[in-house]
A and B are shown apart, each in its own frame.
Chain A
Amino acid sequence: MSGGLTSLSFPKNAHAALANPPLLKAIAHIEETLVSGRRRAAEALPEFEALRDAGRDIKAHTLAHLDLYLEAFERKVVEAGGFVHWAADAADANRIILDICQKAGARRVTKGKSMITEEVGLNAYLQANGIAPVETDLGEYIIQLRGETPSHIIAPAVHVNKEQVAADFRRVHTDLDPKRNLDEPTSLLAEARGVLRERFLSADVGITGANFLVAETGSTVIVTNEGNGDLTQILPKTHIVLASIEKVVPTLEDVATIMRLLARSATGQEMSVYTTFSTGPRRAGDPDGPEAFHVVLLDNGRSAMLGSEFEDMLRCIRCGACINHCPVYRSVGGHAYGSVYPGPMGSVLTPSLQGLEKSAHLANASTLCGRCESVCPMRIPLPKMLRHWREKEFERHLTPKKARFGLAAWRFLAARPRLYGLATRLGAWGLARLAGRDGALRQVPLAGGWTRWRDLPAPEGGTFRTEWAKRGRK
């Protein structure tokens, strides 16, 4: 993957993020844009909750018969004149794509926005092999210029402000007038359009992801708001789609159902601006389209999730709603997670894809508040799965020793009610005495994590159980 996995230093990353005011200001906008957008869209559609059930059921059904639908999809792609390649892991996918590019004699490829290419680290791989990838989604283009990874799955540059973008454009687009105005988002957009237009026309291969693969027709579907996906896949002679296996759905009807959930959950739009279906290469009589059409189907750990306690995660349609509503993401942004996919969905998916040892903090860095599940269009039980990862950590003794010890001590006491009663009585009495008349403690031994930021309200004195017993009650 690109950028390297830094999930193990999550607390350090989070600390840096919390000391970065422009970043905090940028992610604060998620509330008034994406979160309120989703709320309005969901409230405006009476059948929204029923649609969530339907979406969940379509995905659950497909996952139960994934092999059949993937094979059906493959047959239809081939019938339409395209090629299907099966990639077991990231290295396979990269090699297959490079091979197609080299056979097409490609020097430059354009790319539609695709998290899956981030997952396999395609850009770095192509570059290392002499092929220049150009991101064409505005957000992706910006972070490519900045040498960063996306900090959000649908708003990759959500952490960047317009002044930073202007500076990046001046730094990279050195052939343009240094005095041009780049103060407004519209002028930034116009500049990016101008630069990208030339890139679109000169690309040899276009690479996109897919929001859906349709088994009944062999179509791949992408949704964008900028139309960059269309130019990426229509103009070059070769179009490569890289998609993970769980993107398949049985029918076009199913696409229609889930699409009603996707944009509403993501941005609050009823639909994304562009929805594009691709079926095979250009046919005789088609006004445009690629001469060659390849679909690379990526597994990369997903088939191992089937039948496991993490299977439900494969229903994810990458809308980002869980991320937008996560109090932890909203505090530190996406890069702190140090993984390709941030937020709740990322914390569930990353250990599956990269191994638990490399992603230890992710499942723990959640208050389990459950807001993610409450907005997930596919009703994925994210808190439950975060807890499953914590269980696996505990089983494999990956939980830090200190936490394990504390838990064992607690467990020992809680299983011995008399001893527990004595310990809590002493503790409550001691803390109340320590607080004196203050009612709250500014510092408590062994509770630095609490008192660094907030006072600890003092216990009232006696425990409830002793006070209750004093009254002669049972």
Chain B
Amino acid sequence: MTTPKPRVALFVTCLVDFFRPTVGFSAVKLLEDAGCEVSVPAGQTCCGQPAYNSGDRAGARALAEQVIALFEGFDQVVVPSGSCAGMIKTHYPDLFSGEPNWRLRAEALADKTHELTSFLVDVLGVAPLPVTFEGTATYHDSCSGLRELGVKDQPRRLLSAVDGLTIKEMHDPEACCGFGGAFCVKYDEISNAIVDRKVADVRTTGAELLLAGDLGCLLNIAGKLKREGSSVEVRHVAEVLAGMTNGPAIGETRK
């Protein structure tokens, strides 16, 4: 007996869409390799987190409605970001308190929405196809993925199966990188002090590659490393897992 392929929608996130399509394609590859039928609903834009974290509840709610309507028909929704997945999973239902119908729809979507590595490990439980990546990497735990969704071991478990890759942990991989959405430009000087500590921690590991599951953190850390002239490369964990590392790393010179 064959079970039908799960119909999975990819919520690609606004940052991946704009800055790093490779992450989206890596996620699609990982999901298809794992036996999913993947769709990317065309009307998607943003999960509404910028509005939500700026106190604009009505704005966040309007975008949440858009996302719910677009994604609720799928079996599962997968997001290559702990932060956006966390928004849908832990905050959407809260946006509709006092509106039972919408709340039910928000909760239903929350239940089937997953951060990418957590979906691969916790839901599908299948090992990705074997890939090789020669080198030493360190892994940054993005705040929302870690503390809202419990994403910690899943990416490490997947990375441990990558041939040739060694993981060297930072002293404090769970420390915030200082991105914080609008925080990084609103309080840029403090954000810089925080990412400074993160980058120092990355350096002490001696790793040549920094990985994480959230593009916001990755852009911030990569931007700081480049500014300091560091040779440490920065990539989304999905790129390594999918073996899509031929193109330049984040912020890296194109060949």
Residues of A within 8 A of B (CB): 11, 14-15, 18, 327-328, 330-332, 364-371, 373-374, 387, 389-395, 399, 403, 407-408, 410-411, 413-415, 417, 420, 424, 427-428, 437-440, 442, 447, 449-450, 452-460, 462-465, 467-469, 473-474
Contact = CB atoms under 8 A, between A and B. Distances in A.
B44 A417 contact: yes
A239 to B, nearest CB: 42
A457 B180 contact: no
Given A413-B45, A414-B45, A463 B54 contact: no
A460 B176 contact: no
Contact of A367 (B45, B62, B183): B183
Given A458-B251, A465-B42, A390 B53 contact: yes
A403 B247 contact: no
B187 to A, nearest CB: 6
A464 B26 CA distance: 11
B226 A407 contact: no
A457 to B, nearest CB: 3
Contact of A14 (B20, B53, B57, B189): B189
Given A366-B180, A399-B54, A457 B147 contact: no
B13 to A, nearest CB: 9
Contact of B223 (A328, A392, A417, A440): A440
Contact of B179 (A367, A390, A473): A367
Contact of A454 (B19, B181, B220): B220
A474 B39 contact: yes
Given A390-B54, A411-B56, A464-B16, 12 more contacts: A364-B183, A367-B178, A367-B181, A373-B147, A403-B182, A424-B14, A449-B184, A453-B227, A454-B195, A455-B224, A458-B251, A474-B42
30 contacts: A15-B189, A327-B176, A368-B53, A368-B143, A369-B176, A371-B174, A371-B175, A374-B147, A391-B55, A399-B55, A411-B56, A411-B62, A414-B48, A414-B63, A437-B254, A439-B251, A440-B252, A449-B188, A453-B189, A454-B220, A455-B226, A455-B227, A457-B250, A460-B19, A463-B18, A464-B17, A464-B21, A467-B21, A468-B21, A468-B40
A18 B189 CA distance: 8
Contacts of A369: 143, 147, 176, 180
A289 B156 CA distance: 60
A389 B188 CA distance: 21
B43 interface: yes
A387 B55 CA distance: 6
A457 B180 CA distance: 17
B24 to A, nearest CB: 4
Residue among B62, B190, B226 with the most chain A CB within 10 A?
A: B190
A389 B53 CA distance: 10
Contacts of B174: 371
A411 B248 contact: no
B208 interface: no
B40 A474 contact: yes
A18 B50 contact: no
B26 to A, nearest CB: 11
A249 to B, nearest CB: 28
B162 interface: no
User: When A and B form their complex, which 9 residue pairs have the shortest distance between CB atoms, in order from nearest?
Assistant: A367-B180, A449-B185, A390-B55, A457-B251, A394-B55, A454-B223, A369-B176, A453-B192, A464-B21
A457 B44 contact: no
Nearest to A411: B59
B17 A424 contact: yes
Interface residues of B, number: 71
B194 interface: yes
Nearest to A450: B185
Interface of B: 12, 14, 16-22, 24-25, 39-40, 42-46, 48, 50-57, 59, 62-63, 66, 143-144, 147-148, 174-176, 178-195, 197, 219-220, 222-224, 226-227, 247-248, 250-254
Contacts of A330: 197
B190 A407 contact: no
A453 B21 contact: no
Contact of A415 (B19, B66, B254): B66
Contact of A371 (B45, B176, B186, B189): B176
A449 B186 contact: yes
A459 B251 contact: no
Given A14-B190, A437-B254, A465 B50 contact: no
Contacts of B179: 367
Nearest to B94: A384
Contact of A407 (B54, B62, B194, B252): B54
Contact of A18 (B24, B40, B190, B222): B190
A1 B176 CA distance: 33
Nearest to B193: A331
Contacts of B253: 437-439
Contacts of B248: 439
Given A374-B147, A439-B248, A459 B193 contact: no
B251 A440 contact: yes
Contacts of A474: 39-40, 42
Contacts of B178: 327, 367
A230 B182 CA distance: 48
B20 A460 contact: yes
For A369, A427, A428, A438, which residue has the most chain B Cβ atoms within 10 angstroms? A369
Contacts of B53: 368, 387, 390
Contacts of A438: 253-254
Contacts of B54: 390, 394, 399, 403, 407
Contacts of B16: 464
B226 A460 contact: no
A460 B194 contact: no
A283 B193 CA distance: 56
